[in-house]
Structure 1
Amino acid sequence: MQKILVVETNQATYGKKATPTGLWLGETTEFVLKMHEAGYQVDYVSPQGGYVPVDPRSLKYANKESIRLYQSRDFERRALAETHNPAELTAEDYHAIYYAGGHGAMWDFVNNQPLQQLAEKIYRNGGYITSVCHGIAGLFNLRLPNGNFLIKGRQITGFTTTEEMLAGKYQVVPFLNQPMATKRGAQFVKKHAYSSFVVQDGRLITGQNPFSAQAVAEKLLHEIKPASTTGTKDK
Structure 2
Amino acid sequence: MSKVLVVLTNVNKFATLDRATGVWLSEAAHFNEVMVEHNIDVDYVSPQGGYVPLDPGSVSSTAMDATNWKFYNCADFRNDALGKSKKPSEIDPADYDAIYYAGGHGVMWDFPDNTELATIAKAIYDRGGIIAAVCHGVVGLLPITNEDGSKFIAGKNLTGFTNEEEAINKLTQAVPFLAEDELKAAGANHTKTAAYTENLVVDGQLITGQNPQSARLVGEAVVRALK
For the criterion TM > 0.5, the same-fold answer is yes
Measured after TM superposition, the shift of residue 18 of structure 1 is: 2.1
Measured after TM superposition, the shift of residue 146 of structure 1 is: 2.5
Query: CA–CA distance in 2 between the matches of 1:49 and 1:199?
Result: 29
Contact 2:51–2:84 (Cα < 8 Å) also in 1: yes
Query: CA–CA distance in 1 between the matches of 2:49 and 2:37?
Result: 26
Residue 43 of structure 2 aligns to a residue whose secondary structure is strand
Residue 20 of structure 1 aligns to a residue whose secondary structure is coil
One-letter identity of the residue aligned with 2:168:
L
2:30 maps to which residue?
A: 30
Q: Work out which of the residue numbers 81, 100, 116 in structure 1 matches 2:83.
A: 81
Q: Work out which of the residue numbers 68, 77, 91 in structure 1 matches 2:93.
A: 91
- 1:180-226 Cα offsets, whole Å, 9 max, x none, are 0111111110000000001011100000000000000111111112x
Residue 65 of structure 1 aligns to a residue whose secondary structure is helix
Describe how 1:165-204 pairs up with structure 2 within 5 A: 165-204=167-206
Measured after TM superposition, the shift of residue 17 of structure 1 is: 2.8
One-letter identity of the residue aligned with 2:112:
V
Measured after TM superposition, the shift of residue 32 of structure 1 is: 0.2
1:54 maps to which residue?
A: 54
- 1:66-85 Cα offsets, whole Å, 9 max, x none, are 21222111111000000000
How high is the sequence identity, in percent, across the aligned residues?
A: 44
Measured after TM superposition, the shift of residue 157 of structure 1 is: 0.6
1:105 maps to which residue?
A: 107
Q: Structure 2: where are the runs of 5+ without partners? A: none
Query: CA–CA distance in 2 between the matches of 1:17 and 1:86?
Result: 28
When the two structures are superposed, what TM-score results if normalisation uses the length of structure 1? 0.94
1:3 aligns with 2:17: no
Query: CA–CA distance in 2 between the matches of 1:205 and 1:175?
Result: 22
Query: CA–CA distance in 2 between the matches of 1:198 and 1:188?
Result: 11
Contact 2:23–2:55 (Cα < 8 Å) also in 1: yes
Measured after TM superposition, the shift of residue 65 of structure 1 is: 2.2
Q: Which moved more, 1:37-46 or 1:111-120?
A: 111-120
Query: CA–CA distance in 1 between the matches of 2:64 and 2:162?
Result: 21
Measured after TM superposition, the shift of residue 2 of structure 1 is: 3.5
Measured after TM superposition, the shift of residue 16 of structure 1 is: 4.4
Residue 30 of structure 2 aligns to a residue whose secondary structure is helix
Report how many aligned residue pairs link the two structures: 225
One-letter identity of the residue aligned with 2:18:
A
Residue 115 of structure 1 aligns to a residue whose secondary structure is helix
Residue 130 of structure 1 aligns to a residue whose secondary structure is strand
Query: CA–CA distance in 2 between the matches of 1:43 and 1:169?
Result: 31
Q: Which runs of 4+ in 1 moved over 4 A?
A: none
Describe how 1:141-160 pairs up with structure 2 within 5 A: 141-160=143-162
Residue 82 of structure 2 aligns to a residue whose secondary structure is helix
When the two structures are superposed, what TM-score results if normalisation uses the length of structure 2? 0.97
- 1:42-63 Cα offsets, whole Å, 9 max, x none, are 0000000000000011012121
2:213 maps to which residue?
A: 211
Q: Work out which of the residue numbers 199, 223, 226 in structure 2 matches 1:221.
A: 223
Q: Work out which of the residue numbers 132, 135, 144 in structure 2 matches 1:133.
A: 135
Q: Which moved more, 1:9-18 or 1:191-200?
A: 9-18
Contact 2:135–2:210 (Cα < 8 Å) also in 1: yes
